[in-house]
Structure 1
Amino acid sequence: MKKLKLNAALLALVCCAGAIAPVAAGGQDDGIPVSSMSRLRGLGGDARQFDQQSKLQYDQMLAQAHQKDAVATERNPQLIRLRAIAKRLIPFTARWNPDSANWKWEVNLLNSPTVNAFCMPGGRIAFYNGILTKLNLTDDEVAMVMGHEIAHALREHAREQAGKNTITSVGTRILGAVGSAYFGVDPRLGDAAAGMVAQGAALSFSRGDESEADLVGLDLAARAGYDPRAGIALWQKMGAVNKSQPLPFLSTHPSGSKRIDDMNKNMYLVLPVYARAKGLDPNALPAYHSRALPRS
């Protein structure tokens, strides 16, 4: 189980890699405006090869999980629920990445108390049971999580991050050499300082991608008829859980309050989309009702 958790954690980390703020593209319809993706993706390697490597990692993770009897069966109610939500979200993914129309989408549930979920490149989704039970998520909140993770794959954040890592690696070596040559610094100290700069850059990239994925996820969920206000409730719950049992992966992401502020600022764009999907008056939407966190 330890090996399974380690591999799954690495997969989740790759899926949540960072991004540079996108450049807006004009001529879009309502909802969150579609933006162009960073050209740095090209430095992350061939897209087809990247997808093949992703599939291999996902399949290996599932194989190890099956050996530990840690994969939900086809009749698991929570897995059935996840797949039904994915079925509603997927038709709207091509707006953000036309290639997704040809992806071999897959949804699996891992029997683990970990509070996490991820979507690998190519549409390979996995949820940990812990995020469903510990946060007592409604369907709307599950859609927020799933839309967010799908957004990482749609916007090719992992391949983009691979390209950024290539640039950062070269830049840090140059920085270390400059420090040694011009300031008489021990080369090892120069390398260490350069490494700290690279780490800070990686964290900022990650926060940027997380922010973009939040907004893309809101748009996907709203178009599928899920209340985007559930995103606010989700991060309020995440913050409450994080206070009692700190979630390490949140350290590289925007703070819950920052995410909530960004969502609120863009809510006026997605609420009309949600209202249209549900056949409701956008000016008279009923209040969103979440579920209380389970008692610890």
Structure 2
Amino acid sequence: MFRLHSAPVVFAAALLAGCQAVNTTSGGAVGVDRKQYMFSMLSTEQVNQMYAQSYQQTLSEASQKGVLEKNTAISKRVNAIAQRLIAEVPAFRPDAAQWNWEVNVIDSPELNANCGPGGKIIFYTGLIEKLKLTDDEIAAVMGHEIAHALREHGREAMSKAYGVQMATQIGSAMGVGDGSLQLANMGVQYLMTLPNSRSNENEADLIGLELAARAGYDPNAAISLWQKMGAAGGSAPPEFLSTHPSSSSRTQSLQSTIPKVMPLYQQKKR
């Protein structure tokens, strides 16, 4: 006989049944192999489509303001680096080669860059110009951002948020449809404005390091990049660091991993 006090147990079982343990990428030379828990009702395609709409809105607003860089020296530079990195994504995720990749540059003083779900890249000129980034350092930023997209860290964060949201609805009459709507409304917040977890940051660091090396960019640039990022802004850290928190262990982790990817870089350079 069903008892009222067993409802949380049943609900918890339903939540677990809706989760899938996946590994979105192969481990590569850097060995990223953490299992990720995703809600099956929140598909990769849904998240990609949701983000694509937000991305197009951002581009439209930038175009209306006349700050969307098209066929300029800096946009050509960023696109050339992006194409070399994108060519290497099958090493971690073969299906990502078929994504509808887009690369755009916005003329803004923001020290920021992003690669959202489905391969939607935005770079802000402020990041490149104010920090005087080399091509290798741009590749380090972009590789890190692409890694977030390959690992579907945005979808993973949304799945966790959905789980918390659903758990709080025990005893309520809210259906999955309402929950999905609320999840969609909070999607951009989780994908663009909330800090990444330390584990996600570490994965993006390592995969990004390997992507850059495979594309022929010096992996040591990741060290100088984060040194520049940490020094920028003084008491007012760059926008990039609000969603990509730095830590004292980051440089140490990168330095210990560089020997693993240096042969890939040297092979590409040859």
Q: Which residue of 1 aligns with 2:59?
A: 62
CA 1:119–1:23: 2 relative to 1, 3 Å: closer
Specify whether residues 233 and 172 from structure 1 end up closer, same or farther in structure 2 by C-alpha distance, changes over 3 A only: farther
Given that 1:24 and 1:34 are in contact with CA atoms closer than 8 Å, whether structure 2 keeps it comes out as: no
Q: Deviation string for 1:224-282 (max 9, x for gaps)?
A: 11000000000000111042532355255443432111101211111111111112xxx
> Which of 226, 241, 258 is 2:217 aligned to?
226
SS in 2 for 1:132: helix
What's the counterpart of residue 92 of structure 1? 88
Q: Which moved more, 1:239-248 or 1:211-220?
A: 239-248
The yes-or-no answer on 1:106 pairing with 2:102 is yes
Contact 1:112 1:129 in 2 (8 A): yes
The letter of the residue matching 1:165 is A
Q: CA offsets per residue over residues 142-170 of structure 1, 9 Å max, x none?
A: 00000011111111111111101112334
Retained in 1: the 8 A contact 2:111–2:240? no
Cα distance, 1:244–1:57 mapped onto 2, change above 3 Å:
same
Cα distance in 2, alignment partners of residues 37 and 118 from structure 1: 24
CA contact (8 A) 1:34 1:96 kept: no
**Within 1, Cα distance between the matches of 2:167 and 2:63?**
42
Aligned with 2:208: secondary structure?
helix
- Determine the structure 1 residue equivalent to 2:246: 255
Provide TM-score, normalisation by structure 2.
0.76
Query: Considering only aligned residues, what root-mean-square deviation do their CA atoms show, in Å?
Result: 2.7
1:231 aligned partner, one-letter code: A
Contact 2:103–2:122 (8 Å) recurs in 1: yes
User: Match of 2:267?
Assistant: 276
Is the 8 Å Cα contact of residues 115 and 149 (structure 2) preserved in structure 1?
A: yes
Determine the structure 2 residue equivalent to 1:239: 230
Output the amino acid matched with 1:33.
G
Deviation of 1:33 after TM superposition, in Å, equals 2.2
- Please list every run of 5 or more consecutive structure 2 residues that lacks an aligned counterpart in the other structure: 1-21, 171-192
1:118 corresponds to which letter in structure 2?
N
> Which residue of 2 is the match for residue 284 of structure 1?
none
For residues 34 and 246 of structure 1, the distance between their equivalents in structure 2, rounded to whole angstroms, comes to 29
Q: Secondary structure, in 3 states, of the residue corresponding to 1:107?
A: strand
- Write out per-residue CA displacement over residues 53-105 of structure 1, whole angstroms, 9 at most, x where no aligned residue: 1211111111111111110022x111100111011111111222222111111
Match of 2:43 among 24, 43, 46: 46
SS of the residue aligned with 1:69? coil
Contact kept in structure 2, 1:235 and 1:256, CA below 8 Å: no
1:109 is paired with a residue whose SS is strand
Identity of aligned residues (%): 46
Q: TM-score, normalised by structure 1?
A: 0.70
The match for 1:209 is 200
Please report how far the alpha carbon of residue 206 of structure 1 lies from its aligned counterpart in structure 2 after TM superposition.
Answer: 2.2
Q: Cα distance 1:223–1:238, how it changes in 2: closer, same or farther (>3 A)?
A: same
User: How many residues end up aligned between the 2 structures?
Assistant: 228
Task: Indicate the residue corresponding to 2:30 in structure 1.
Answer: 32
Question: Gaps (5+ residues) in structure 1?
Answer: 1-21, 175-201, 280-296
Pair 1:79 & 2:70 matched: no
Which structure has the higher relative contact order (CA within 8 Å, separation 6+)?
1
